[in-house]
Structures are given as C-alpha cells and as structure tokens.
Amino acid sequence: MLNRVVYMPLESVSVDAALARPVHDPAGHVLAGEGQVLSSRLRQRLQQRGITMVPVCELLSDEAVARRRAALEESYDHLFRHWRTTPCMRQLRRLLTEHRVGNTQ
C-alpha cells in the first residue's frame, strides 16, 4: 500500500476526510492545517475564500502501484529509446519512477 497526496475538487471530497497538507489562500495565509478534518463548516469557509482544490491522501493498493509503475516503465522505454542503457540512465529512470509513483521500497 502507498499513500500519496492528490489534489481533488473541494466539492468531491467527502466530509470527514483529512487534509494531507495545509490549505493556503492566494496571499499565503493558512486557512486549514495539515491533518485537519474537512467538516461541512470548513468546506463552506474554504468555498467562500475561493478554494476549489484541496490536498487529500489517496491510498493506492499494491496492484495499483504495480500498474502505475508498469505504465511509467513503458512510457520511459519510449522516451529513452535513443539513449544507451548506462548506469546513469538506469539511475535517472529509477529516480523518475520513484518520484512519479512514490518510493515503495
């Protein structure tokens, strides 16, 4: 299992979901803190302040992580098709994959 932060439309996030990161207004003021539970009152307050997307944790199953990793590898095969397979290129691909999927090791 892997947790990752995704930004979802405020109206589609269920009440009682916890925020994965602080929510800021355009001026940089914190409107809601990391871990704060999204109540109907908080949702209304965020909507009034013009917030449309909020960060929440998404739990990915091992199968979903494997599918995502396989899709990325296929994409990288195409992107790096003209490059030799060198230790540096393998390292770059590994780092890209960890960044995109998350470090599951």
The three-class DSSP label of residue 8 is strand
pLDDT tens digits along 84-105: 678 888 888 888 888 877 654 4
Other CB atoms within 10 Å distance of the CB of residue 23: 22
Q: Note whether 25 and 48 are same-domain residues.
A: yes
pLDDT tens digits along 30-60: 999 998 999 999 999 999 999 999 998 876 6
Instruction: From 57, 92, 97, select the one nearest 105 (Cα to Cα).
Output: 97
Q: Note whether 92 and 73 are same-domain residues.
A: yes
Q: Note whether 53 and 82 are same-domain residues.
A: no
pTM above 0.75, yes or no: no
Residue 38 lies in domain: 2-60
Q: Note whether 53 and 97 are same-domain residues.
A: no
